[in-house]
């Protein structure tokens, strides 16, 4: 038994060393991802260091496809190890570039990062086969990579699931109260087991790939039994919808983009997997599919472009609509190439996708650059249309009242620019009313947009609406009055989920049918807090800087004196003045 264990451990050690020796930069990046993931989950670093960790995570994630591509290119071209050092320098440079974190506003940097990551993955598929004519080895290499990734992902999912169940069993049996063990287990398996097991199966005999003639039966079954039915279902739905459009003579709406893109993914993947069989006279189904699917997809790509054109005309260009436009034109190119130039092969597919991704990330025609210009023009035109700019310049006049649709369009455009492009994207447009503290303060987009609209004296008119969804927020700079109260309890979040109760150890609170209720035991009884007077006085709009007096209620109940001050309040405000609470955060004072 000891001999078996020693051999097994030695096998693991040798395998790890071989993988790390072949892909040193890739293994380094995945290890960094795992460590950073654990630190972020544990919240074990000061808040000032979170941005550094997020930027490190972004650089390490880019390093995975970059390192993989460098290794493949180096092996195919007999280059030296210095290429790994070049890759490391590129990643270090990206890490040092000033930018927001992956999950922080403005999202401009995260969008650029996503396009760059997608482009690097595309080039990984073709980096070893850029020179010379396209050979069968290109398809075989990507087949091995694709199959290996699916297999390793299944193994990792089973391992994560099994370990999580084992931890859950130990947690329940021994009352261990494992707080982070579940997340740590998943992160470490994905960060260490998955990459090591994956790179262990990456082909290295390039001559053997060119001479490998067999076609895996499991891939043929997967294409015919899984991908083909999905393609048939989506194609049928979309052509019926196209027929409906023709009959009703109504423009397609934006939601058509998702099914068209899903159909494209399933169908193009099937066509690529069947590529070696398309000229085989014995594979009639494969020949039929690769011939007619591109022709069936082309009209749907046009439908996609028409639907996005409607949305852009109404609401301007955004990054998602940019992706839809780029995908639509690329799909048309794919359809025409596969239909009328079959000799072009498939190597151009990842190359073109990689170039589209990189062009979408950087330059004057990038997704963020074009979207920024489009939304700035839209915002400026709305200021002119609603005569807001004139009032900003004169700094006089009464409030500007806009109907709900116009107000929301203005507010959403302003918020989009701030949260995606940064506050600098609107500073020049709003120069007459722009405050220097807005540039200096770290305000969330919804807070800053509310302050800007308030400074412009823009108000929302809801005379014809029965209800409205609003947020009310406490002015955090104002002190809460607790004079005479001996106990203070903070309730960080109450939601209107069934039977969800929150306690400070003595008092229990619950949101039930839109009403806030309080009790002294988990089982109740619960009594509704009389909020009618306070709620009726709330403004019929969202407000981000309300005084504590506006969000306060004093209440006597069963010999106790309570004061409740809401820090956040989210609810439905009806035209009759009543409010139904959805979520809230509050401070409870008691004496």
Are 56 and 92 within one domain? yes
Which pLDDT tens digit goes with each residue over 526-570? 999 988 888 877 776 666 678 788 888 888 888 888 999 998 888
Are 195 and 221 within one domain? no
Are 112 and 190 within one domain? yes
Report the domain count for the chain. 4
Residue 160 has pLDDT above 90, yes or no: yes
As a whole-number percent, the residues of the chain with pLDDT over 90 amount to 42
Domain extent at residue 356 = 215-362
**Tokens matching residue 396:** 């006089």
pTM: 0.79
Are 424 and 478 within one domain? no
**Tokens matching residue 479:** 């002190």
Are 475 and 510 within one domain? yes
What's phi and psi for 513, nearest 5 deg?
A: 55, 40
Residue 298 has pLDDT above 90, yes or no: yes
**How far apart are the C-alpha atoms of 458 and 523, rounded to whole Å?**
47
Provide the 8-state DSSP code for 195.
H
Are 356 and 447 within one domain? no
> Of the given ranges (125-134, 339-348, 365-374, 493-502), which has the lowest mean pLDDT?
493-502
Are 357 and 250 within one domain? yes
Mean residue pLDDT of the chain comes to 87
The predicted structure's pLDDT at residue 577 = 60
> Of the given ranges (38-52, 145-159, 266-280), which has the lowest mean pLDDT?
38-52
Which pLDDT tens digit goes with each residue over 309-353? 988 998 999 999 999 999 999 999 999 999 888 788 899 999 999
The predicted structure's pLDDT at residue 34 = 94
150-160 mean pLDDT: 94
The predicted structure's pLDDT at residue 373 = 96
Structure confidence at residue 35 as a pLDDT band (50, 70, 90): very high
Tokens 């979170």, located at residue: 50
Is residue 136 domain-resident? Answer: yes
Are 149 and 44 within one domain? yes
The predicted structure's pLDDT at residue 328 = 95
Tokens 């859950």, located at residue: 168
Q: Taking the CB of residue 435, how many other CB atoms lie within 10 A of it?
A: 13
> Cα angle at 151 between 147 and 153, to 5 degrees?
120
Are 526 and 450 within one domain? no
**How far apart are the C-alpha atoms of 32 and 39, rounded to whole Å?**
11
Is residue 391 domain-resident? Answer: yes
225-254 mean pLDDT: 85
Is residue 331 domain-resident? Answer: yes
> Of the given ranges (217-231, 327-341, 484-498, 532-546), which has the lowest mean pLDDT?
532-546
């Amino acid at each position: 038994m000891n001999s078996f264990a020693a051999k097994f451990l030695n096998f693991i050690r040798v395998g790890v060393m071989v993988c790390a020796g072949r892909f040193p930069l890739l293994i380094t990046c995945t290890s960094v991802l795992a460590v950073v993931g654990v630190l972020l989950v544990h919240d074990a670093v000061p808040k000032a260091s979170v941005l550094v960790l997020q930027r490190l995570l972004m650089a390490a994630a880019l390093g995975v496809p970059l390192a993989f591509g460098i290794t493949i290119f180096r092996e195919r071209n007999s280059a030296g190890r210095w290429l790994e050092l070049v890759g490391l320098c590129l990643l270090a440079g990206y890490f040092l570039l000033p930018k927001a974190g992956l999950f922080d506003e403005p999202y401009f940097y995260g969008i650029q990062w996503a396009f760059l990551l997608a482009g690097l993955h595309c080039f990984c598929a073709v980096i070893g086969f850029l020179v010379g004519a396209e050979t069968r080895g290109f398809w075989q290499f990507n087949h091995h990579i694709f199959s290996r990734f699916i297999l390793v992902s299944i193994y990792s999912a089973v391992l994560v699931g099994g370990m999580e169940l084992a931890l859950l069993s130990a947690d329940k049996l021994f009352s261990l109260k494992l707080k982070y063990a579940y997340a740590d287990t998943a992160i470490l398996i994905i960060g260490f087991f998955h990459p090591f097991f994956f790179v262990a199966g990456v082909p290295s005999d390039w001559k053997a790939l060119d001479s490998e003639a067999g076609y895996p039966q499991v891939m043929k079954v997967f294409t015919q039994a899984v991908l083909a039915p999905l393609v048939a279902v989506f194609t049928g739905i979309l052509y019926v919808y196209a027929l409906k459009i023709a009959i009703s003579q109504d423009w397609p709406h934006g939601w058509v983009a998702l099914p068209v893109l899903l159909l494209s993914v399933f169908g193009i993947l099937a066509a690529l997997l069947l590529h070696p069989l398309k000229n085989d006279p014995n594979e009639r189904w494969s020949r039929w599919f690769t011939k007619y699917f591109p022709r069936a997809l082309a009209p749907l790509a046009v439908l996609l472009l028409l639907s996005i054109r409607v949305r852009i005309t109404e609401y301007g260009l955004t990054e998602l609509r940019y992706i839809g436009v780029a995908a639509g034109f690329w799909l048309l190119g794919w359809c025409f190439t596969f239909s009328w130039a079959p000799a072009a092969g498939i190597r151009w597919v990842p190359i073109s996708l990689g170039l589209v991704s990189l062009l979408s990330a950087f330059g004057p025609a990038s997704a963020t650059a074009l979207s920024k210009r489009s939304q700035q023009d839209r915002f400026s035109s709305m200021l002119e249309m609603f005569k807001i700019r004139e009032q900003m310049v004169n700094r006089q006049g009464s409030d500007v009242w806009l109907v709900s649709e116009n107000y929301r369009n203005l507010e959403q455009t302003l918020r989009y620019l701030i949260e995606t492009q940064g506050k600098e994207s609107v500073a020049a447009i709003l120069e007459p009313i722009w405050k220097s503290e807005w540039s200096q303060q770290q305000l969330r987009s919804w807070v800053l947009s509310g302050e800007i609209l308030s400074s412009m004296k823009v108000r929302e008119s809801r005379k014809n609406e029965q209800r409205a969804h609003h947020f009310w927020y406490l002015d955090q700079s104002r002190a809460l009055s607790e004079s005479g109260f001996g106990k203070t309890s903070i309730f960080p979040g109450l939601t209107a989920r069934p039977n969800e109760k929150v306690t400070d150890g003595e008092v229990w609170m619950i949101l039930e049918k839109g009403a806030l209720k309080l009790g002294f035991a988990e089982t109740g009884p619960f009594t509704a807090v009389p909020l009618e007077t306070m709620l009726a006085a709330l403004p019929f709009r969202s407000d981000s800087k309300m005084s504590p007096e506006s969000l306060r209620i004093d209440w006597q109940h069963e010999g106790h004196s309570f004061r409740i001050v809401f820090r956040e309040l989210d609810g439905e405000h009806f035209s009759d003045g009543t409010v139904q609470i959805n979520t809230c955060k509050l401070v409870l004072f008691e004496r």
